[in-house]
Amino acid sequence: MKYSIIFSAALVALTLSACDRQSAAPAPTVVTVPVPGPAGATGSTGSTGSTGSMGSTGSMGSTGSTGATGSTGATGDTGATGKTGGDTVVIIPAAPASR
């Protein structure tokens, strides 16, 4: 244990001393940006375009006549009468007692 701590410290010292450091940061690159000059005079207004021609109205057909009303249909037969007094038994359970 004693030797591993000493060995680790020596290894760290050798590793850090082997690093190559630069003495100064590289010079920054200068970028020139062109600046626009003063604005020129405003140009004259363009001429107005011509108005388009009006479309022609097509000939319309006349409205058709109304169809005749249909006749009433026949009445259906009366159905058979159902039974009275069924065989079904309905059981309703009692509500549980509250505590």
3-state helix, strand, coil in the chain (%, to 5): 15, 0, 85
* Pairwise CA distance, residues 93 & 97, whole Å: 12
The reported pLDDT for the residue numbered 18 is 64
CA 45 to chain centroid, in Å, comes to 43
Per-residue pLDDT tens listing for the chain (99 residues): 678 888 888 888 877 776 666 666 777 788 887 888 888 888 888 888 888 888 777 667 777 888 888 888 888 888 888 777 667 777 888 888 776
Give me the count of residues in the chain: 99
* Pairwise CA distance, residues 3 & 9, whole Å: 10
Q: How far is CA 23 from each of CA 20, 26, 85, rounded to the nearest angstrom?
A: 9, 10, 111
